[in-house]
């Protein structure tokens, strides 16, 4: 009980916070703890399980699929993150400076992330179809060779990254736009008097001032990107071969296609640890760039 509260206030406090506590335990703490527990066990085909200690984790280290998943996850993470930040910042600057863009056009520009990822995935699947899709039609009409897109082991990661960027760069833009709008206007006037060109103002003033906002956007996108699932599940299901088999997709297949729940849980715990470390590192970066 907090000091200064009498019994009845204490009871009231407990009653009021109980729903939140129960919800948190039921929805977050229990699944996490249960998954950790599952990760230490091995399941037979009859559903019986036995404690195997760190066996699932040692198996992970020897599993080529795991290392491939890790590589795919990080390749996709870094490529998508860079693309989304670059386009997001560009789009935000465009929205911030353009007085001509109508409200409707602004809404349209930021609408992709309101679309369910499954719908976005289906839409791009059609567009990128090697023989029927619009993408190759456009390439060919420009005199360029057609691409296999999602069917190419080389191009599948960049293609998925582009789809995700199409969907999520506007989200980054919206966050960055909020940051831009809160920057003090007099600082820009001071820079104007100091004689900074627009390019110099962007590089020396806007970008450093926006860094904390950009890192915040990166944190939010990191959590999603490291757990990349939906668009891949719709478009490639980890293929061709295992070229887009992220850790999350791999874990899903191990758990729900091969029913190796213990191993899948160990995979998911490892992935969660990776996400946690990434977020902690980015948070540290955010305090480093705060002004």
In the complex, the residues that contact other proteins under the rule CB under 8 A are 184, 186-187, 189-196, 200, 204-205, 208-209, 211, 291
- Minimum distance of other proteins from residue 274's CB (angstroms): 31
Could you tell me if 160 and 82 are in contact, meaning their C-beta atoms sit under 8 angstroms apart? no
Closer of 2 and 99 to other proteins (Cβ): 99
Closer of 4 and 185 to other proteins (Cβ): 185
The rounded distance, in Å, linking the Cα atoms of 234 and 159 is 13
The DSSP bridge partners found for residue 49 are 43
Closer of 190 and 280 to other proteins (Cβ): 190
Closer of 54 and 288 to other proteins (Cβ): 288
The rounded distance, in Å, linking the Cα atoms of 125 and 235 is 6
% helix, strand, coil for the chain, step of 5: 75, 0, 25
Give the DSSP H or E segment for 43.
Answer: strand 41-43
- Minimum distance of other proteins from residue 172's CB (angstroms): 21
Closer of 169 and 209 to other proteins (Cβ): 209
Give the DSSP H or E segment for 50.
Answer: strand 49-51
Closer of 24 and 192 to other proteins (Cβ): 192
- Minimum distance of other proteins from residue 210's CB (angstroms): 10
- Minimum distance of other proteins from residue 139's CB (angstroms): 43
Could you tell me if 279 and 222 are in contact, meaning their C-beta atoms sit under 8 angstroms apart? yes
The rounded distance, in Å, linking the Cα atoms of 271 and 113 is 24
Phi-psi region of 237 (alpha: psi -120 to 50; beta: other; left: phi over 0): left
Cα–Cα–Cα angle for 206, 207, 212, rounded to 5 degrees: 110
| Closest by Cα among 115, 289, 163 to 219 | 289
- Minimum distance of other proteins from residue 287's CB (angstroms): 13
- Minimum distance of other proteins from residue 97's CB (angstroms): 17
Could you tell me if 224 and 167 are in contact, meaning their C-beta atoms sit under 8 angstroms apart? no
Closer of 135 and 211 to other proteins (Cβ): 211
- Minimum distance of other proteins from residue 89's CB (angstroms): 16
């Amino acid at each position: 009980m907090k000091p200064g509260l009498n019994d009845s206030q204490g009871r009231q406090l407990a009653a009021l916070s109980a729903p939140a506590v129960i919800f948190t335990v039921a929805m977050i703490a229990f699944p996490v703890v249960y998954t950790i527990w599952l990760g230490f066990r091995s399941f037979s085909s009859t559903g019986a399980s036995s404690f195997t200690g760190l066996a699932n984790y040692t198996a992970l280290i020897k599993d080529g699929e795991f290392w491939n998943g890790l590589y795919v996850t990080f390749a996709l993470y870094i490529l998508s993150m860079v693309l989304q930040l670059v386009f997001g910042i560009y789009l935000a600057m465009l929205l911030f400076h353009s007085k001509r863009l109508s409200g409707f056009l602004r809404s349209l520009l930021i609408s992709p992330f309101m679309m369910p990822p499954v719908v976005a995935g289906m839409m791009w699947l059609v567009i990128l179809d090697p023989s029927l899709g619009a993408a190759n039609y456009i390439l060919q009409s420009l005199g360029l060779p057609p691409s296999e897109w999602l069917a190419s082991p080389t191009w599948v990661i960049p293609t998925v990254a582009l789809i995700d960027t199409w969907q999520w760069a506007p989200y980054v833009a919206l966050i960055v736009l909020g940051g831009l709008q809160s920057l003090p206007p007099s600082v820009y006037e001071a820079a104007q008097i100091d004689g900074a060109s627009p390019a110099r103002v962007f590089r020396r003033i806007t970008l450093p001032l926006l860094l904390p906002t950009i890192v915040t956007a990166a944190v939010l996108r990191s959590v999603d990107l490291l757990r990349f699932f939906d668009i891949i599940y719709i478009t490639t299901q980890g293929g061709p071969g295992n070229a887009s088999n992220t850790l999350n997709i791999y874990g899903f297949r191990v758990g729900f296609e091969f029913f190796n729940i213990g191993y899948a849980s160990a995979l998911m715990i490892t992935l969660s640890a990776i996400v946690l470390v990434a977020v902690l590192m980015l948070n540290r970066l955010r305090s480093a760039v705060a002004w």
